[in-house]
Structure 1
Amino acid sequence: MAIDDRRARDREARRRLIVATARALAENEGWDAVTTRRLSTEIEYSQPVLYKHFAGMEQIADAVAVEGFGELTEAMRAAQSGSGSADDALSRIAHAYLDFARDNPAMYDAMFTRATGLRFATDDTPPQLEDSFAAMRQAVDAVAGDRDADTLTEVFWAALHGLVTLGRAGRLRDDYDDDRIRLLVSEFATRR
């Protein structure tokens, strides 16, 4: 059993190395720089070793995305803890979301803009995606009143994603994030 345990640990360590290297390359050089050939060179394993862990680049990017959802969830939960009112919690979640997207652009792309096999609200949804939605839903639920909290959460998430996407493309005025978030939270919180 000890040999099998060691092999499993080694396999998981290689998998983590592949994901971390893909993420680092994407953050530093963009997703176009992340290829199986480049990854195998960077981690000093052959391409067949990569294929023992992942079927291809799409699955590697999905693994980066799943990791990102875990980190986004942590950021939203941290932002929500210690918040005062329900409006404050929603505002903190929104700021944490925008900060996460700004600080992790390649990961955010893996999570939301690259083609992916990851799906929300299905039987095979990874728990990290479900946890991320639940963290945001918790804040939205506090202001939902008699409205459907799931749908309201989807709309709130879509609004934040829109702000990220338009901001990254230079289509929004700089330095107005606070005003936009204040308005967004006000619209969600006042219609109870």
Structure 2
Amino acid sequence: MSVQERKERERSERERLIVATARELAEQQGWGAVTTRKLAERIEYSQPVLYSHFRGKREIIGAVALEGATEMAVAVRAATAAADGPRARVTALARAYLDFAERNPAAYDAIFQLDGGLAYAQEDTPEPLKDAFAALEESLGEVAGDGVGGGLFTEVFWASLHGVATLTRAGRLPPEYTERRVELLVDRLPVL
């Protein structure tokens, strides 16, 4: 391995460590607790080293968002692949999405609530975000119904799931009714 390759590998490993540490800290204490000072202390690098990788917290949030979007896409695809038929796929998608939001609050917030400096629904939207939407659209496109584009239907269904996830996490919806909410949402789809 050349010196340049080794340096690139070490840089990549430091970036992964910064992102993982930021996510861990945000999961434990919330995003407000994530500062470059705390990150530098936890990973035992100086703040200038952090800034050599990320210009600040916003870019770190963006990196966590991209990582989380990739994980969410994998979870949704795994859940829907195991389901038999359109109704079962849509139900599995909803459950996987809500489960991801519940189990990964810092990543979920980075993707959907916080400003990570990422473009959404644009040509320059990063691939992990496009792929997360595609993972939803793959199952929802087949049930969009006549006259409704799969992308538009996916946006509306996603917005419903996002509302359930966000309101449940905020304590405004009782979590014990989440499964019933999924059933109601899926039951209202006219093509299932």
Deviation for aligned residue 1:119: 2.1
Secondary structure of 1:175's partner?
helix
Instruction: Give the Cα separation in 1 of the matches to 2:27 and 2:135.
Output: 25
| Unmatched segments (≥5 aa) in structure 1 | none
Deviation for aligned residue 1:191: 4.7
Question: Aligned letter for 1:106?
Answer: A
Question: Aligned letter for 2:102?
Answer: R
**In the TM superposition, what are the counterparts of 1:82-161 in structure 2 within 5 Å?**
82-146=82-146, 147-161=148-162
Whether 2:67 is the aligned partner of 1:67: answer yes
**In the TM superposition, what are the counterparts of 1:15-30 in structure 2 within 5 Å?**
15-30=15-30
Deviation for aligned residue 1:82: 1.9
CA RMSD of aligned residues (A): 1.3
Instruction: Give the Cα separation in 1 of the matches to 2:174 and 2:34.
Output: 32
Question: Aligned letter for 2:160?
Answer: A
Say how many residue pairs are matched.
191
- Provide the TM-score with structure 2 as the length reference: 0.95
Instruction: Give the Cα separation in 1 of the matches to 2:132 and 2:96.
Output: 12
Question: Aligned letter for 2:178?
Answer: D
Moved over 6 A (4+): none
| Unmatched segments (≥5 aa) in structure 2 | none
Secondary structure of 2:176's partner?
coil
Deviation for aligned residue 1:142: 1.4
Secondary structure of 1:172's partner?
coil
Deviation for aligned residue 1:186: 1.9
Deviation for aligned residue 1:187: 1.7
Give the share of equivalent positions with the same residue, in percent: 51
Instruction: Give the Cα separation in 1 of the matches to 2:180 and 2:9.
Output: 48
